[in-house]
Chains A and B, each alone.
Chain A
Amino acid sequence: MTNQPIIQIKNLQKFYDNKQVLKNINLDVYPGQVIGYIGPNGAGKSTTVKILTGLIPDFVGEVTVDGINLSENPQEIKKLMGYVPENAEIYDVLTPMEYLDFIGKLYGMEEPLLSDRIEKLLTAFGLADNINDRMDTFSKGMKQKVLLTAGIINNPKILILDEPLSGLDANAVILVKELIMRLSKEGKTIFYCSHMMDVVEKVSDRILLINKGQIIADGTFESLKQNYSDTLEQVFSKLTGREESGIETDAIINAFV
Chain B
Amino acid sequence: MDKLLLKFVGLFNGLLQKTGVDTFQLHEILRVKLLMDNRRPRTAFGNRAARSGGKAPSPILANLLIMFMGLMIGLALFLSFKPLLGQTLYFSIFMMMMALTLISDFSSVIIDSRDQFIILPRPVNDRTVAMSRFLHVTLYISRIAFLLGIPGILIIGFVDGWAATPLFFIQIIEATLLSVLLVNLVYFVLIKAVSAQKFKDIINYVQITFSVSLFAIYYLVPRLVNVKSLKDIDVLSHQWVYFWPPVWISSLNEALLHSGRSNSLIIVFAVLGLILPIIGIWFVAKVLAPGFNKKLAIVSNADGGNIDGKKQHKTDFRDKIANWLAPDPIENAGFKITWKLATRTRDFKMKVYPAFAYVPIYFIYFTFNGKGETLSEKFEHVRNSSTYIFLIYLTTFVLLSILQNVSQSAKYKSAWVYYTLPIDQPGKILSGMYKAIIAVYFLPYCLVIGIITLVIWGPSTLNDIILAFIISIIYGMLMALFTVKGLPFSKPVMVKAGSGKMIVSFILLGLIIILGLGHKFLARWETVIWLLIIPMLLINWIMFRQYKKQSWDAIELADID
**Do residues A56 and B297 form an inter-chain contact, with CB atoms below 8 A?**
yes
Contact with A along B262-306 (1 / 0, CB 8 A): 000000000000000000000000000000011001100110001
Count of interface residues, chain B, beta-carbon cutoff 8 Å: 31
CA distance A238 to B122 in the complex (A): 38
Q: Choose among B28, B116, B117, B308 the residue with the greatest number of A CB atoms under 10 Å from its CB.
A: B117
Q: How far is the CA of A53 from the CA of B120 in the complex (A)?
A: 9
A85 to B122, CA, bound (A): 12
Q: Are B294 and A103 in contact (CB under 8 A)?
A: no
A93 and B36: CB pair below 8 A?
Answer: yes
Enumerate chain B residues within 8 angstroms of A90, measured Cβ to Cβ. Answer: 114, 118
When chains A and B are docked, how far (Å) is the Cα of A70 from the Cα of B504?
A: 64
The answer to whether the Cβ of A87 comes within 8 Å of any Cβ in the partner chain is: yes
| Residue of B294, B297, B302 contacting most chain A CB atoms (<10 Å) | B297
Chain A CB within 10 A, most for which of B29, B39, B121, B302? B121
What residue in chain A is nearest B32 (Cβ atoms)?
A102
B43 A78 Cβ-Cβ under 8 A = no
Cβ-neighbour of B25 out of A58, A76, A105, A134 (below 8 A) = A105
Contact A89 B121 (CB under 8 A): no
When A105-B25, A134-B39 are in contact, do A75 and B294 touch as well, CB less than 8 Å?
no
B123–A75 CB distance below 8 A: yes
* Contacting residues of chain A (59-106) with chain B, CB-CB under 8 angstroms: 75-76, 78-79, 81, 83, 85, 87, 89-94, 98, 102-103, 105-106
B120 touches A89 (CB 8 A): no
Q: How far is the CA of A136 from the CA of B43 in the complex (A)?
A: 8
Contact across chains for B42 and A93 when beta carbons are under 8 A apart: yes
Q: Does A126 contact B (CB under 8 A)?
A: no
Q: Which of B43, B121, B294 contacts A81 (CB 8 A)?
A: B121
Chain A residue contacts of B32, Cβ below 8 A: 91, 94, 98, 102
B122 to A, closest residue via Cβ:
A106
CA distance A83 to B120 in the complex (A): 11
A89 B294 Cβ-Cβ under 8 A: no
Q: Is chain B's binding surface mostly helix, strand, loop or mixed?
A: helix
Complex Cα spacing A256 to B125, Å:
55
A105 to B118, CA, bound (A): 13
Q: Is the CB of B43 within 8 A of A93?
A: yes
Q: Chain A at the B interface: mostly helix, strand, loop or mixed?
A: loop
Residues of B within 8 A of A54 (CB): 120-121
Q: What is the 8 Å Cβ interface bit string for chain B, positions 319-346, against chain A (1 contact, 0 not)?
A: 0000000000000000000000000000
Does B542 sit within 8 A of A, measured CB to CB?
no
Q: A123-139 vs B: 1/0 string, CB under 8 Å?
A: 00000000000101000
Check A89/B25 contact, CB under 8 A, given A57-B297, A78-B121: no
Q: CB of B383 within 8 A of chain A?
A: no
* One of B35, B42, B114, B297 near A89 (C-beta < 8 A): B114
Our pick among A17, A50, A79 for the contact of B123 (Cβ within 8 Å) is A79
Q: How far is the CB of B133 from chain A (nearest CB, A)?
A: 15
CB neighbours (8 Å) of A17 from chain B are 306
Instruction: For residue A245, give the distance in angstroms from its CB to the closest CB of chain B.
Output: 24
| Distance between Cα atoms of A57 and B28 in the complex (Å) | 24
Checking B25, B114, B298, B302 against A91 with a beta-carbon cut-off of 8 angstroms, the contacting residue is B114
Write the chain A residue with the least CB distance to B308: A19
The residues of A that contact B24 with a CB separation of less than 8 Å are: 105, 108
Whether the pair A50, B301 counts as a contact (CB closer than 8 A) is yes
**Residue of B36, B118, B306 contacting most chain A CB atoms (<10 Å):** B118
* B143 at the A interface (CB under 8 A): no
Cβ of A228 under 8 Å from chain B: no
- Cα separation A87 to B304 with both chains bound (whole Å): 13
- Is B113's CB within 8 Å of the partner chain A? yes
Measured between beta carbons, the chain B residues less than 8 angstroms from A92 are 43
Report if A196 contacts B (CB, 8 A): no
Task: Please state if B123 and A102 are interface contacts (CB–CB under 8 Å).
Answer: no
A250 CA to B40 CA, complexed, in Å: 51
| Min CB gap B53→A, angstroms | 20
Residues of B near A89 (CB, < 8 A) are 113-114, 116-118
* Interface residue? B124 (CB, 8 A): yes
Query: Binary interface profile of B, 35-63, with partner A (CB < 8 Å = 1, else 0)?
Result: 11001101100000000000000000000
Would you call A55 and B120 a contact (CB within 8 A)?
A: yes
Whether B306 pairs with A53 at a CB distance below 8 angstroms is no
Q: Check B123–A78 contact: CB distance below 8 A.
A: yes
| Residues in A whose Cβ lies below 8 Å from that of B117 | 55, 85, 87, 89
Q: Could you give, for residues 37-62 of chain A, a 1 whenever the CB lies within 8 Å of some chain B CB and a 0 otherwise?
A: 00000000000001001111110000
Q: Which of B28, B43, B302 contacts A102 (CB 8 A)?
A: B28
Contact A91 B36 (CB under 8 A): yes
In the complex, what distance in Å separates the CA atom of A107 from the CA atom of B298? 24
- In the bound complex, residues from chain A placing their C-beta under 8 Å from that of B40 are 93
Identity of the chain A residue whose Cβ is nearest the Cβ of B44 in the assembled complex: A93
Q: Determine the distance from Cα of A92 to Cα of B112 in the docked complex, in whole angstroms.
A: 13
B301 near A107 (CB under 8 angstroms)?
A: no
B36→A16 contact, CB < 8 A: no
In the complex, whether B119 has a CB less than 8 A from a CB of chain A is: yes
CB pair A106–B28 under 8 Å, yes or no, is yes
Q: Report chain A residues within 8 Å CB of B124.
A: 75, 78, 106
Q: Given known contacts A57-B294, A57-B297, is B122 in contact with A107 (CB within 8 Å)?
A: yes
- In the complex, the chain A residue whose C-beta lies closest to that of B42 is A93
A121-165, CB < 8 A from B: 134, 136
Q: Give chain B nearest CB distance to A49 CB in angstroms.
A: 10
A32 to B472, CA, bound (A): 73
Which of A19, A75, A76 lies at the interface centre, i.e. has the most chain B CB atoms within 10 A of its CB? A75
A76 touches B123 (CB 8 A): yes
Q: How far is the CA of A99 from the CA of B306 in the complex (A)?
A: 33
User: Across the interface, which residues of A come within 8 angstroms of B119, CB to CB?
Assistant: 106
Q: How far apart are the CA atoms of A1 and B36 in the complex, in Å?
A: 45
Contact check: which of A50, A57, A85, A94 meets B35 at CB < 8 Å?
A94
Structural contact, A108 and B116, CB atoms closer than 8 A? no
B118 adjacent to A103 (CB under 8 Å): yes
Q: Are A55 and B297 in contact (CB under 8 A)?
A: yes
Closest B residue to A85 by beta carbon equals: B117
Minimum distance in angstroms from A158 CB to a CB of chain B: 12
Residues of A within 8 A of B36 (CB): 91, 93-94
For the complex, what is the distance from the CA of A16 to the CA of B300, rounded to whole Å? Answer: 13
Cα(A19)–Cα(B302), bound, Å: 12
Report the minimum CB–CB distance from B116 to chain A (whole Å): 7
Q: Are B297 and A106 closer than 8 Å at their CB atoms? A: no
On chain B, the residues within 8 Å of A103 by CB distance are 118, 122
Chain A residues lying within 8 Å of B35, measured Cβ to Cβ, are 94, 98
Asked if residues A108 and B43 are in contact (CB atoms below 8 Å), the reply is no
The smallest C-beta distance from B40 to any residue of chain A, in angstroms, reads: 7
Complex Cα gap A163–B125 (Å):
27
Query: How many angstroms between the C-alpha atoms of A107 and B113 in the bound complex?
Result: 20
The answer to whether B121 touches A16 (Cβ under 8 A) is no
- Whether A55 contacts B123 in the complex (CB less than 8 A), given A89-B114, A94-B36, A105-B24, comes out as no
Q: List 7 A-B contacts (CB under 8 A).
A: A50-B301, A89-B113, A89-B114, A89-B117, A94-B36, A94-B39, A103-B122
What 4 pairs between A and B have smallest CB-CB spacing?
Answer: A78-B123, A106-B122, A89-B117, A93-B39
Given A81-B121, A106-B124, 12 other A-B residues pairs in contact with their CB atoms under 8 A: A50-B301, A53-B121, A57-B297, A75-B123, A78-B121, A85-B117, A89-B117, A90-B114, A91-B114, A93-B42, A98-B32, A107-B122
- Chain A residues near B (Cβ < 8 Å): 16-17, 19, 50, 53-58, 75-76, 78-79, 81, 83, 85, 87, 89-94, 98, 102-103, 105-108, 134, 136
